[in-house]
Structure 1
Amino acid sequence: MPERTGPDPITAQVISNVLLSIADEIGMSLRRASYSTNIKERADCSTALFDARGRLVAQAEHIPIHMGSMVGAVRRLIAPEYLEQLAPGDVYITNDPYSGGGTHLPDITMVAPVFLPSGPDGDDGEPRLIGFTANIAHHSDVGGHVPGSNSGDSTSIFMEGLRIPLVRFATGGEVISDVVAFVLLNSRLPEERRGDLLAQTSALRLGGARLVELCVKYGVETVEAACEDMLGYAATRLAVAVERIPDGRYHAQDFLDADDAELGPIPVAVTVTVDGSAIALDFAGTGREAVVAINVVRSALEATVYYALKAALDPGIPANGGFFDAVTITAPEGCLVNPREPAPVAARTDACQRVADVVFAALAQAVPEIPAGSHSSITYVNFSGVGDGFYVYPEVIAGGSGAGPELDGLDAVQVHVTNSSNLPIEALEAEYPLLAERYELVPDSGGAGRRRGGLAVRRDIRILSDSAEFSAHADRQSIGPHGSHGGDDGTPGHFTVVRTDGSRERLPGGRVSGIRLGEGDVMSIESPGAGGYGDPRDRDPALVLRDVVDGRVSPDAARDRYRVHLVEGPDGLGVDEDATVSARS
């Protein structure tokens, strides 16, 4: 057995946990210092640490779509033209998806190199680069053709807001006012942007100080060796998980709602090839670049694949870059998941959700524990207008998660590439001239099955100001989440405007902008449900009865989908055993 050259296992584990705690602390600091509800309340942000070679060593458990999204900016900073210019007190900023800055323009990435000062560990030489702190935060507005900078109907990235190349945001510990001015001038909420940008900067500095403390305590070489152990451990766990899958090629295809009525739904396809401990994903067969903003740049595709493999094969794989190089990902240029600049990308998460769906569906052919289809739609909504001042309220509405072989799906949860919180109604109504009139589960939205799919959410928002503008991007408005092993599909979602005169208008799709709402109008938002697992006739009638009593399943659905007949008796509602056996036979 080769002699161990790194730190002892206990020290390595301690250092690993400290690095993760630093990433978590950066995130907590960012949320507490931020101005916008989207960051401080909904936690639409992520934080990470990188080593001096630009490898991701620790990422806090925030938003899966951000997994690896900061890698592009750090990789550019370790290129010679940037590396030789890095200095203590620097902070870099970017948001451009086509140059490694993230996955869409509202997500602003900041990266700070961390240097060990001369002296504290006995080295009197020049400051030594020991790593990078990084964070990414979804800003409520960065310009573009609609408030919120995130509608699904833009047709070019130039409609989506300010593009920030990789530039210094701070030098020598001082923020560069000219760069701040550029960002503020291009936002409808300049003071909110200033507060959020400064929160990102201060959080990075805190993380840098913690990383220096760690290296002073254990020594740079010991910390670097522990990082090597962490990265190698992640790669090994992936290899072990892949080896459990029978060798073969597994193909799956699903569809996104049509971006153009004449062109039809867009297919998303993947072939997963397993050969021993090696795994490769080929997205040949995926449809064309979309006309609207659902295209997925490379960094978003990679982040989605990494999430899906981690979730499906071994959720315990550490959230670091150790397994990134062990996964081969290919996609034809000019397709939905490898678009050409300047294809629009603001609503890329809807397509990322479908990427996760097809990866899971392909792996499910060899890994039966994988659940049925989840709601897999971001269902992003944005209200803007004038209250005490101009406001922008972004929100992502939860839905159902897919049922598995042993458990029902969860109700009202975020799934796959997003993990943001809902905005509490108290915060919503305190900060915006809006009223949350209804917030409830949608009965019968989860697909019937031996295990029932999770339920969708309905959220009705009433306008209290003179007027407001509504924009959104959402998928699964025409094609519901798929059931598995004989389970039914979940229901699609939809948007409905209810005017003060009582008229109702169902919007034609999920990618809309410029919808004008007057005082008293209500926007009713309904997310998709989720797929069921197994034959509905195999579900325990007692569970069906419980669902009816709880309001999750209607009596009609109990009879028609589950073949369970209910009868009112002296002790309340019960199962008519004879009628149920007869119906199921």
Structure 2
Amino acid sequence: MNEHLILMEPVRLALQGIVDRMQSRMMRAAYSSIAREGGDCAAAVFLPDGRLLAQARSLPLLLGSLIPAIAGVLQRFPAQQMADGDAYLMNDPWSGGTHLPDLIVVRPIVSEGRTIALAAAILHHQDVGGMAPGSIPPNATDIHQEGLRIPPVRWRAAGEVDRNVETLLTANSRTPGNLLGDLNAQWSAVSLGASETAALRARTGASFEAVCDALLAQSERMTREALRQVPDGSWQWEDQLDGDGITDAPVRIAVQLHKRGDALSIDFTGSSAQTRGPVNASPSSMMSALLFFMRSLAPQAPNNAGCLAPATWVLPEGSVVNPRLPAAVNARTATLKLACNAMLSAWSLGASREPLASNAGVATVLSLGGTHANGTRWLLTEIIASGAGASAQADGTSGISTDVGNARNTPVEVIESEAPVRVNTYAIREGSGGTGRFQGGHGVRRVYELLEGQGSISYRGERHVSRARGSQGGGNGASSAARIERADGRIDVLPARARAEWSAGDRLVIETAGGGAWGTAANARAAPENQPT
């Protein structure tokens, strides 16, 4: 036992280094800018029974969903039947996936002839088919409209690609070269994870499994201790989405937290029924919000699934947080962000005498596509940040991905090199954070101009109607806004989720929401209304 204690910290650091290097390799090798520049990908290592052992410090929106994805793969392909060099591929939200552009690759880590761990990588692919370029149609009503749905399949055997699977994938993508390039980046990442984890197992010998169990137990112990420091109680929070992309009817997100001793129940009963539009989030997607929230309780604990042990949760079947097949799910990001924000806000009511103001809860996903003059397709997907809520100690941060979001800014130079688009404006949206003693973080303003031909726009925003709430008398943040300023002077205002066409000379203006403020201020200014500027 003493030997295990001595090895725990070295093994923890080694595992964290492995998954972070997997993440870096995947981003360096990725073809698509959303992964290469935006970091919309994630890597992790699991034990062969499916327990999360270590995860990269990357994108929580994807990290948590790898847990049910691994479970889905193992249900069809038991770990001890896997062979070195095999790889498994999937994206099906009802088998552990998120939405269809997020392809997941899993490789067994084999040592001394048996599977001792699993390396996993998830990446948001540029296009996997469906009714709109980018595979994120904001008006989808059925998952079959969103792209190619892949249950767990064997993609490689002994390192060799199954050409039948590859042919099926490329036939369903508008950008097959990018798809294959990004898949190879994932393969490179899981191969690095496999070799380095096997080497770590060789160095630690028979102690490896016991040390891994001890690290999981340590994470659980530290999380339970953090829970014990908070008085028992029940707290709730409600928020709403600005429609589902089909209607403007608000979509309710409700959560109740019940804390007793070192255990926590998280109940989303009261959330809206599943929607026709694509804002539904499968339970595997919701796992990302749960994992982020539970990790936030004891952030110094080992970065593994042990933190989940004190939690139970309720996701009512047939609701927006647990939809039935064939619900459309591609716009689940807004649902996850508001669900995570709701958990954090409810928790702050019980854990703090000075509850935090709400984050904006917006990660605008924009997909632009079209055809060059020579007939070749172009496609660009990026994620635009918003503002963080203020606290009793400081203003909220402006232009940042909060809670489950951690995507990076896509540089203007990259956008303009990959698409016939000029970025005329990229700036902090001053005045969009709520006003108070401490101001909410401001959102972002982007203005794009199409330079040639015609193109399509798939826009997925949020907070066009609702606002991030202030705390302790602080003001709410401003709402989001989006519009197309036509070359002929017309202005088309876009709702929170929209598809549109534009032509050379048209400008797309996106303004993301601000975070809520904390406390009152005598000279507080009102947050701007949702009006063109």
| Length-normalised TM-score, structure 2 | 0.95
Aligned counterpart in structure 2 of residue 85 of structure 1, from 56, 81, 85: 81
CA contact (8 A) 1:360 1:370 kept: no
Within 5 Å, give how 1:81-120 maps onto structure 2. Answer: 82-100=78-96, 102-117=97-112
CA contact (8 A) 2:233 2:259 kept: yes
Aligned counterpart in structure 1 of residue 340 of structure 2, from 356, 367, 379: 356
Please say if 1:257 is aligned against 2:257: no
Please say if 1:522 is aligned against 2:507: yes
User: In structure 2, how many angstroms separate the alpha carbons of the residues matched to 1:279 and 1:303?
Assistant: 17
User: In structure 1, how many angstroms separate the alpha carbons of the residues matched to 2:59 and 2:433?
Assistant: 25
Structure label with greater radius of gyration: 1
Give the secondary structure class of the aligned counterpart of 2:288: helix
User: In structure 1, how many angstroms separate the alpha carbons of the residues matched to 2:423 and 2:134?
Assistant: 20
User: In structure 2, how many angstroms separate the alpha carbons of the residues matched to 1:342 and 1:535?
Assistant: 47
Residues 188-218 of structure 1 deviation map (CA, whole Å, 9 limit, x = unaligned)? 0011111111111122111111111111112
User: In structure 2, how many angstroms separate the alpha carbons of the residues matched to 1:472 and 1:484?
Assistant: 30
Aligned counterpart in structure 2 of residue 159 of structure 1, from 133, 145, 163: 145
In the superposition, relative to structure 1, how do residues 426 and 131 fare at CA in structure 2: closer, same or farther (>3 Å)? Answer: same
CA contact (8 A) 1:232 1:322 kept: yes
User: In structure 1, how many angstroms separate the alpha carbons of the residues matched to 2:301 and 2:135?
Assistant: 34
User: In structure 1, how many angstroms separate the alpha carbons of the residues matched to 2:485 and 2:452?
Assistant: 16
Structure 2 residue aligned with 1:47: 43
CA contact (8 A) 1:386 1:465 kept: no
Structure 2 residue aligned with 1:7: 4
Q: What letter matches 1:104 in structure 2?
A: H
User: In structure 1, how many angstroms separate the alpha carbons of the residues matched to 2:117 and 2:80?
Assistant: 14
CA contact (8 A) 2:243 2:251 kept: yes
Structure 2 residue aligned with 1:554: none
Q: What letter matches 2:30 in structure 1?
A: S
Residues 133-165 of structure 1 deviation map (CA, whole Å, 9 limit, x = unaligned)? 000000010001100001322111111100011
User: In structure 2, how many angstroms separate the alpha carbons of the residues matched to 1:289 and 1:110?
Assistant: 29
Please say if 1:64 is aligned against 2:49: no
CA contact (8 A) 1:87 1:172 kept: yes
The Cα of 1:467 is off from its aligned counterpart by 1.1
User: In structure 2, how many angstroms separate the alpha carbons of the residues matched to 1:247 and 1:8?
Assistant: 32
Aligned counterpart in structure 1 of residue 313 of structure 2, from 322, 329, 348: 329
User: In structure 1, how many angstroms separate the alpha carbons of the residues matched to 2:137 and 2:57?
Assistant: 26
CA contact (8 A) 2:433 2:439 kept: yes
CA contact (8 A) 1:73 1:111 kept: no
Structure 1 residue aligned with 2:286: 301
Aligned counterpart in structure 2 of residue 448 of structure 1, from 431, 435, 443: 435
User: In structure 2, how many angstroms separate the alpha carbons of the residues matched to 1:30 and 1:370?
Assistant: 38
CA contact (8 A) 1:157 1:343 kept: yes
Give the secondary structure class of the aligned counterpart of 1:201: helix
CA contact (8 A) 1:6 1:225 kept: no
The Cα of 1:263 is off from its aligned counterpart by 7.2
Please say if 1:384 is aligned against 2:369: yes
Structure 2 residue aligned with 1:553: none
Aligned counterpart in structure 2 of residue 146 of structure 1, from 132, 135, 145: 132
Structure 2 residue aligned with 1:120: none
In the superposition, relative to structure 1, how do residues 212 and 81 fare at CA in structure 2: closer, same or farther (>3 Å)? Answer: closer
Structure 2 residue aligned with 1:479: 466
The Cα of 1:83 is off from its aligned counterpart by 3.5
The Cα of 1:72 is off from its aligned counterpart by 2.1
Structure 2 residue aligned with 1:402: 389
Give the secondary structure class of the aligned counterpart of 1:374: coil
The Cα of 1:373 is off from its aligned counterpart by 1.1
Q: What letter matches 2:47 in structure 1?
A: D
In the superposition, relative to structure 1, how do residues 394 and 53 fare at CA in structure 2: closer, same or farther (>3 Å)? Answer: same
Which stretch shifts more, 76-85 or 458-467? 76-85
CA contact (8 A) 2:245 2:496 kept: no
User: In structure 2, how many angstroms separate the alpha carbons of the residues matched to 1:309 and 1:394?
Assistant: 30
The Cα of 1:367 is off from its aligned counterpart by 2.2
User: In structure 2, how many angstroms separate the alpha carbons of the residues matched to 1:345 and 1:227?
Assistant: 35
CA contact (8 A) 1:6 1:226 kept: no
User: In structure 1, how many angstroms separate the alpha carbons of the residues matched to 2:322 and 2:429?
Assistant: 36
| Length-normalised TM-score, structure 1 | 0.87
User: In structure 2, how many angstroms separate the alpha carbons of the residues matched to 1:262 and 1:29?
Assistant: 42
Structure 2 residue aligned with 1:211: 197
The Cα of 1:80 is off from its aligned counterpart by 7.6
Please say if 1:345 is aligned against 2:340: no
Give the secondary structure class of the aligned counterpart of 2:351: coil
Q: Percent identity among equivalent residues?
A: 34
Runs of 4+ aligned structure 1 residues displaced above 4 Å come to 260-263
The Cα of 1:76 is off from its aligned counterpart by 3.5
CA contact (8 A) 2:101 2:124 kept: yes
Structure 2 residue aligned with 1:417: 404
In the superposition, relative to structure 1, how do residues 237 and 404 fare at CA in structure 2: closer, same or farther (>3 Å)? Answer: same
Give the secondary structure class of the aligned counterpart of 1:223: helix
Residues 378-421 of structure 1 deviation map (CA, whole Å, 9 limit, x = unaligned)? 21111101236311111111111000000000011011112111
Structure 2 residue aligned with 1:544: none
Structure 1 residue aligned with 2:230: 245
Structure 2 residue aligned with 1:274: 259
User: In structure 2, how many angstroms separate the alpha carbons of the residues matched to 1:442 and 1:487?
Assistant: 19
In the superposition, relative to structure 1, how do residues 87 and 226 fare at CA in structure 2: closer, same or farther (>3 Å)? Answer: same
Residues 95-132 of structure 1 deviation map (CA, whole Å, 9 limit, x = unaligned)? 001111x2111000000011114xxxxxxxxx021100
* Structure 1: 5+ residue stretches without partners: 118-126, 542-556, 562-585
* Structure 2: 5+ residue stretches without partners: 528-533
User: In structure 1, how many angstroms separate the alpha carbons of the residues matched to 2:285 and 2:89?
Assistant: 18
Q: What letter matches 1:298 in structure 2?
A: P
The Cα of 1:334 is off from its aligned counterpart by 0.6
